[in-house]
Structure 1
């Protein structure tokens, strides 16, 4: 049964497409953060290992919330790795040593890329597709990513 939430099916489909891309980005970022957690080396190993664990936990919650939002507006999620890789704006490739500085820079760049993408989609979701609930939801994700990016940036000073 399709949801009767005051948004046309055409509009929820457009919004779901934006959210699918965001979900793919988040899943790739989650994987990159897990990689950093598993492969970090150096004198600061323990602290950074725990820091990455905290961050991937937050991203895991974000991915679940995005998938549930897609379902709440009446669509299915693109939930295969192949689909995620075809939809993401991020690169999954890491080209550095397994030290905290390299991982932090790479993850910071990914968070900032997601922040910019969310800023791009808020207005069309709200104004063009009349989905204020999703616009509010993704606006909240900006705040979360900005804080996570700040923590990464602080490690790089």
Structure 2
């Protein structure tokens, strides 16, 4: 049995924050998988630049899922970690098959923007509870995904 969490945030507030972070984790992991898939399967005249960009992005996402999951654990809850949980929690649809390169870019723009919306939706509960650590994580994630969407959108 774990010791109780006593970090100045009530149980109810921690639970509501974790619900938002769990959705963010699911979206981030789904985006990670989609980006990694596209890295493996991209073809065409933009192959080299997209292959490299997608690798940079999925590498950053791999670190992000760890940070989000560890924040959930810090708040005293188990982090979701199965495909079935992610499918239930994520706002990002799976992409089956191999889209054309420009469709990959468009799909990743949409998915990065979805992660921003999910992070933004989690923000009020963290802010209300004065959970500056989660607020900081959410602001960082929003900034990273807004920039990723802009960079990808610039290629369309």
Q: TM-score, normalised by structure 2?
A: 0.92
Deviation at 1:94, TM superposition (A): 4.5
1:153 is matched with which residue?
A: 153
Q: Deviations over 1:52-89 (max 9, x none)?
A: 00010111111111001101111111101111111111
1:135 is matched with which residue?
A: 135
Q: CA-atom RMSD, angstroms?
A: 1.4
1:17 is matched with which residue?
A: 19
Unaligned runs of 5+ in 1: none
Q: Which runs of 4+ in 1 moved over 3 A?
A: none
Three-state SS of the structure 2 residue aligned to 1:28 is: helix
Contact 1:41/1:98 (8 A) holds in 2: no
Q: Deviations over 1:79-120 (max 9, x none)?
A: 01111111111101357x533211000000011111122222
Deviation at 1:147, TM superposition (A): 1.2
> In structure 1, how many angstroms separate the alpha carbons of the residues matched to 2:22 and 2:138?
12
> In structure 1, how many angstroms separate the alpha carbons of the residues matched to 2:40 and 2:135?
34
Contact 1:11/1:130 (8 A) holds in 2: no
Contact 2:17/2:126 (8 A) holds in 1: yes
2:81 is matched with which residue?
A: 79
Deviation at 1:37, TM superposition (A): 0.4
Three-state SS of the structure 2 residue aligned to 1:37 is: helix
Alignment length (residue pairs): 154
> In structure 1, how many angstroms separate the alpha carbons of the residues matched to 2:107 and 2:137?
26
